[in-house]
Chains A and B, each alone.
Chain A
Amino acid sequence: MSDSLHTRAQQLLAQSLIEGIAPADDAWLRRHLKDCPECREHAAATNDLLRALRAVPIDVPRDLAARTQMRVRLRAQETAGASGSGLILWGLTAMSWLLGVMSAPLVWRAFAWIGEEFRVPKLAMEMGFVLWWTIPALFAVAAVLHQRGVASNAKRF
């Protein structure tokens, strides 16, 4: 029997395990294995190799599943809590902006009165009015960024 027949048989054998072979090739391989002790031994060795691969004994630590279940539940609670507090924060921010818009004319009048009473330059009064508006928003942004930082730190391990 020629070497090329053995080579073909061994290639088909590997191919049949990895991606499958056509029925005609399968029939040829079976016939060849029947007549060729060398390739039959090769096929048996391959089966032993794969059986050994499937038999690699790796045991799961006894309490790993239970520990994982608990950790997953805790994380689920944490993230649910974080998303709840995020909603509260956004709600408070929206309410703050609404109240700010509604009270803007009154605040402007108050600033104008203070400006007149204490002879503050108009530019300084306008800047004071802008700061009055932006400082709460800056605090809100700082709070959101802080919250995100805490959440991303918690995700690391």
Chain B
Amino acid sequence: MSVDTQAIANGLRQRDPELLDLLIEQFQHRLFRYLVFLTGDQALSEDLFQETWIRVMERGHQYNAKSKFESWLFAIARNLVIDVSRRKKMRSLEELADPDSNQPFEPPDLHGVSALQMLVARENEQAIQLSLLKIPAYYREVLLLRFHEELGLEEIAAVLSTPISTVKSRLYRGLTALKNALPESAPRGAA
């Protein structure tokens, strides 16, 4: 059962426990996938998943129903990822805060993403999925939000707190990075 944004805003303002339970059920897959895409670490994603919902409960009164609930949810999760990466000195994720400050594109160290590697290393389309691991988290993030979550450019910009032009450029560069990360035998699409 889905709940409309105004009902969500009203329920969150009152800290309605039934509504929170429903939202956790409803958005668990999308939120967890987003966190795993960002962090590449399942255990950390589980912690962040729980912490995200605690923040949703605590700051529910700040949700004004003008944007999609999932955009607000992803923004909260993203800020937590950035906080944790700063605390734990996870350099690859710190770039989420300001990726454009590190201009030259360098594929991350694959040893650092072994957990995500284990998660995505399945038989179907394995080559393409594994190539996702070779691109920086801030490209994975926009590609996920655009092509998996099917958020609009404005919604992605709201999640990332960046201008739409930045979102577009990250998407173009992300597609290029993904294409370049593919092995020779895999299909290479537009970018």
Contact = CB atoms under 8 A, between A and B. Distances in A.
Given A57-B120, A58-B120, A18 B146 contact: yes
A14 B189 CA distance: 9
Interface residues of A, number: 37
A102 interface: no
Contacts of B119: 57-58
A67 B24 CA distance: 10
A5 to B, nearest CB: 15
Interface in B28-58: 28-29, 32-33, 36-37, 42, 46-47, 49-51, 53-54, 56-58
Given A57-B122, A65-B24, A18 B171 contact: yes
B46 A64 contact: yes
Given A53-B132, A61-B46, A68-B50, A46 B21 contact: no
Given A56-B129, A68-B24, A68-B49, A48 B189 contact: yes
Interface of B is mostly: helix
A157 B17 contact: no
A49 B191 CA distance: 11
Contacts of B153: 18-19
Interface string A33-57: 0000000001111111111111111
Interface stretch (A69-77, A87-95, A103-111, A130-138): A69-77
A22 B148 CA distance: 23
Interface residues of B, number: 49
A17 interface: yes
A127 B136 CA distance: 66
Given A17-B147, A52-B125, A60-B32, 15 more contacts: A10-B190, A17-B190, A48-B128, A49-B128, A50-B189, A53-B128, A53-B143, A55-B125, A56-B37, A60-B28, A64-B32, A64-B46, A65-B28, A71-B54, A76-B57
